Amino acid sequence: MKAAQLFAPSKFRFIDAEEPKLIDGESKIKILSTSVCGSDIHSQFRGDFKEEEYPRPPGMPCHEIVGKIIESKNSSLKEGQRVIVIPGRNNYGGLTEYIKQVPELIIPIPDWGSAEEWVMCQHTGTVLFSAKKWGNPAGKTIAILGQGGIGLSFTMIAEKQGAENIIGIDLLDYRLKKALELGATHTINPSNENLYENINEITKGAGVDIVVDATGDPSAFETSIKLIKRYGLIISFSLTGSESKRSSFVHTDFMRKAAKIIPTQMSRTSEPTKEIREIVKLKERGWIDPGKLKSHNFDFIDVQKAYDTYADYKNNVIKLAINISND
């Protein structure tokens, strides 16, 4: 089967890979659509790998996948079902024609709607897991650092849950425009506005109840501490992709704020698909539509262009879908 493979930093090639063979309990999925996540960029596409660690496994680093079951050795999943698939650590990534998986990491989706829109539910489901940590945000002020796909998902959920002030913060104006479309009440671009003066004005000097760091930038942790009110809540959803990157902050500010800090990473939990399943149900009911995040489509043959576009913020990209198969 055809698979994309990182053979050097930020460089893909196509190879012939062996098709996955099933054992009892597994299902084989023909991949229809995938999407690029910021963690793909930080951890692998532009990761800090040694020369001898290349090439990377086939299909990596993509982990946001929608496909159709073409063979199943599990009675709970049937041929022809469309599903979201979470690849395992010893499996191919999503930039392949086929993948196999156990039912615990497969989420059925409806027959209606496009695969490239349903694939966005994987992304937003991980955000729902983190957003649950803020409890009931009704009437509160939430500042969200970063308005890429993750930050915008936080924005959508906060709006649906009744937060009073939702402040989208980003260095790119086109992302801030999208934030307003998806529920932000205020936006700030720190590259041309004074972040702290604007926050002070919006909150009338009270400070922010909840700060979400969705930047992937270690320096944002210090910003979070500066923005949070005393005894507030900081939620970190910010994977930098490198152990060499460090956060620094003024220790007296950290102590004085006495904020609760929660780092969140759903994939490391015992139920890594729970909130993705919930987002699928919420999309079915019309409560939320993660498909609104999609700004670009690419064909599989253009995987290099797709990753370059996402990594370099080209053409006002928010989230993109890569169509692996038109089946």
Q: Read off the pLDDT of residues 4-52 as tens digits, 9 standing for 90 and up.
A: 999 999 999 999 999 999 999 999 999 999 999 998 998 889 988 899 9
CA separation for the pair 214, 39 (Å, rounded): 11
pTM for this entry: 0.94
Secondary structure (3-state) at 105: helix
pLDDT, residue 258, reads: 85
Strand partners, 236: 213, 263
Q: How far separated are the first and last CA of the chain, in Å rounded?
A: 16
Per-residue pLDDT, 219 = 84
Identify any residues that bridge with 143 across adjacent strands, giving them in sequence order.
167, 211
pLDDT score for 239: 64
Question: Whose CA is closest to 288, among 207, 182, 145, 135?
Answer: 182
Determine the 3-state secondary structure of 198 from DSSP. Answer: helix
Q: Which domains does the chain have, with CATH numbers?
A: 2-108+289-323 (3.90.180.10), 124-267 (3.40.50.720)
pLDDT at residue 165, rounded to an integer: 98
The H-assigned helical ranges of 192-287 are: 195-202, 220-227, 251-257, 274-285
pLDDT of 232 reads: 97
Relative orientation angle of helices 173-181 and 149-160, to the nearest 10 degrees: 30
Q: Is 80 helix (H, G, I), strand (E, B) or coil?
A: coil
CA distances for 271 relative to 5, 267, 312, angstroms: 29, 8, 33
Provide CB contacts within 8 A for 173, sequence distance 6+: 189
pLDDT at position 149, please? 96
Which residue's structure tokens are 């959803």? 237
Q: Which residue has the tokens 């073409």?
A: 70
Helix and strand element counts for the chain (H, E):
10, 15
* pLDDT the model gives residue 190: 97
**Cβ–Cβ < 8 Å for 56, 5:** yes
Give the containing element (helix H, strand E) for 150: helix 149-160
Q: In a 3-state reduction of DSSP, which class is residue 271?
A: coil
Q: How far is CA 65 from CA 91, 98, 237, in A?
A: 13, 11, 21
Which residue is it, tokens 């370099």?
Answer: 312
* H or E segment to which residue 175 belongs: helix 173-181
CA 202 to CA 208: how far, in whole Å?
A: 9
* Measured distance CA(74)–CA(29) in Å, rounded: 13
Distance CA 59, CA 79 (A): 23
- How many Cα atoms are found within 13 Å in the side-chain-facing hemisphere of 276? 26
DSSP states of 278-292 as a string?
Answer: HHHHHHHHTS--GGG
- Give the pLDDT of residue 241: 56
Q: Which amino acid is present at 148? A: G
Question: CA-CA distance, 294 to 119, in Å (whole number)?
Answer: 10
Q: What is the mean pLDDT of each run of 10 residues along the chain (327 residues)?
A: 96 97 96 94 88 94 96 95 89 93 96 96 95 96 97 98 98 98 98 97 96 89 94 86 64 84 76 92 97 97 98 97 91
pLDDT at position 266, please?
A: 67
